[in-house]
């Protein structure tokens, strides 16, 4: 079975019918998802249900946060937290082992109830741990968590479609994503001028680690590129009203590479600041990623050792951030 292809375009999938129980409608959507997951590893979704004002408000808050004096941002640096939450300064991460560092600043956080009094039963996983927030910008937390929860809900709707695309029961992922180990990163990429050193770009060539990523890109700025199987970089520009979904290595391992986790990078040559927001949607950290039986055959023997999702992610984090 093919995985990856010399695609030139990234498919756009319409989610208007995501809640439909009509088997014909559902099967059509599942077919589109399956094709995109096997051939490209990337797709756009439109009619995803998150209103544009949510993105506009979050973007305004991100601008305020990254404009804070660097000493204030360093006060919540991720090296001060046990689980990589908080602020990461420019060049502190390196996604491409051949690169010299990523030309981006970031802010990372994980699940937290929207309201302080709300509580949801959650298990403490290996990567769990409290978020830290900038005290100088109280509105930032609310805006970031509001988008986080909306994107989390979208992600929960996608898992059943992936399961059906793999000929698994629709609820296959349900008991494996109860605590949704989903991490959100707010990213700021300064513009790069003149000759660009390929070793220092916004984010170096990499694959994502979790099951899939929901990526919002700032409108109007081309920066993201996706590598096809002919080793050509295909532009993945922001398309109005869409989000990008890309598969990550947890799902590639789990499906024995039937689903493809595609290499991508971002370079901001636009001349202006660029912002983006990935939400990395993993499984609960105690879930063992053993190849799904239907993805293993004599022609496609199992390629990967079983490992718990938590150990896998922790290893990738240490390799990228070196702490
Ligand atoms: O900023 C982007 O467009 C891509 C970000 C990305 O690939 C990542 O954070 O893993
Ligand atoms: Fe990525």
Task: In whole angstroms, give the CA distance from residue 230 to residue 223.
Answer: 20
Taking a 5 Å cut-off on Cβ, the residues next to ion ligand 2 are: 208
Phi–psi pair at 87, nearest 5 degrees: -90, 135
The ligand whose atoms approach the alpha carbon of 202 most closely is 1
In the chain, pLDDT over 70 holds for what percent of residues? 93
Q: Atom 3 of ligand 1 has which residue's CA nearest to it? A: 224
* CATH class held by domain 12-321: mainly beta
pLDDT value at 119 more than 90: no
pLDDT of residue 127: 55
Q: Tokens 């010399």 — which residue?
A: 6
Determine the residue of 224, 234, 267 to mutate for testing ligand 1's pocket, defined as the one with the most ligand atoms within 8 A of the Cβ atom. 224
Q: How far away, in angstroms, is 296 Cα from ligand 2 center?
A: 27
The full set of domain ranges for the chain reads 12-321
The pLDDT value recorded for residue 294 is 87
Q: In terms of DSSP H, where are the helices of the chain? A: 23-39, 52-66, 70-74, 138-165, 249-254, 309-321
Using alpha carbons, select from 68, 70, 114 the residue that is nearest to residue 90: 70
Q: Is the pLDDT of residue 150 over 90?
A: yes
* Cβ atoms of residues 14 and 25 within 8 Å: no
Please indicate whether residue 211, judged by its CB atom, sits closer than 6 Å to ligand 1: no
Q: Half-sphere exposure of 252 toward its Cβ, with a 13 Å CA cutoff? A: 24
Mapped onto helix, strand or coil, the DSSP state of residue 72 is helix
pLDDT score of 40 more than 60: yes
Ligand nearest to the CA of 261: 2
The H or E element that residue 280 is part of is strand 274-281
- Rounded to an integer, what distance in angstroms lies between the CA atom of residue 127 and that of residue 311? 9
Yes or no: say if 3 and 259 are a contact pair by the CB < 8 Å rule.
yes
Q: What is the ipTM of this complex?
A: 0.99
287 pLDDT more than 80: yes
The encoded tokens of residue 139 equal 């509105």
| Shortest-distance atom of ligand 1 to CA 276 | 1
Ligand positioned closest to the Cα atom of 265 = 1
Residue 21 or 245, more confident? 245
Average pLDDT over residues 1-26: 89
Give the position, in ligand 1's atom list, of the atom nearest the Cα of 278. Answer: 9
Other residues' Cβ atoms within 10 Å of the Cβ of residue 323: 9
Task: Quote the pTM value.
Answer: 0.94
Each residue's pLDDT tens digit, 64-82: 999 999 999 999 999 888 7
- pLDDT tens by residue, 159-187: 999 999 999 999 999 999 987 679 999 99
Rounded to the nearest whole angstrom, what is the distance from the C-alpha of residue 123 to the centroid of ligand 1?
28
Beta bridge pairs of residue 8: none
> Looking at ligand 1, which residue's alpha carbon is closest to its atom 8?
278
């Amino acid at each position: 079975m093919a995985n990856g292809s010399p695609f030139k375009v990234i498919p756009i999938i319409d989610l208007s019918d995501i809640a439909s129980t009509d088997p014909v409608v559902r099967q059509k959507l599942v077919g589109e998802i399956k094709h995109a997951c096997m051939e490209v590893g990337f797709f756009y979704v439109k009619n995803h249900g998150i209103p544009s004002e949510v993105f506009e408000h979050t973007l305004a808050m991100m601008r305020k946060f990254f404009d804070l004096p660097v000493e204030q941002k360093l006060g919540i640096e991720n090296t001060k937290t046990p689980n990589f939450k908080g602020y990461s300064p420019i060049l502190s991460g390196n996604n491409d082992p051949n690169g010299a560092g990523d030309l981006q600043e970031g802010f990372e956080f994980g699940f937290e109830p929207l309201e302080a009094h709300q509580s949801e039963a959650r298990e403490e996983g290996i990567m769990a741990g409290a978020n830290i927030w900038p005290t100088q910008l109280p509105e930032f937390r609310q805006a970031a968590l509001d988008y986080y929860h909306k994107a989390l809900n979208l992600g929960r709707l996608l898992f059943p479609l992936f399961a059906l695309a793999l000929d698994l029961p629709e609820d296959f992922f349900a008991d494996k994503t109860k605590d949704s180990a989903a991490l959100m990163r707010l990213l700021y990429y300064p513009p790069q001028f003149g000759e660009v050193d390929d070793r220092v770009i916004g984010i170096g060539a990499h694959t994502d680690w979790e099951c899939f990523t929901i990526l919002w890109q700032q409108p109007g700025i081309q920066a993201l590129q996706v590598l096809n199987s002919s080793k050509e970089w295909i532009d993945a520009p922001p398309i109005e009203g869409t989000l990008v979904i890309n598969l990550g290595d947890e799902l590639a391992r789990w499906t024995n590479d039937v689903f493809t986790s595609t290499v991508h990078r971002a370079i901001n040559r636009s001349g202006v600041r660029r912002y983006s927001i990935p939400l990395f949607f993993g499984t609960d950290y105690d879930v063992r990623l053993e190849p799904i039986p239907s993805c293993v055959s004599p022609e496609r023997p199992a390629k990967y050792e079983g490992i718990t999702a938590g150990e896998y992610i922790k290893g990738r984090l240490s390799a990228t951030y070196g702490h």
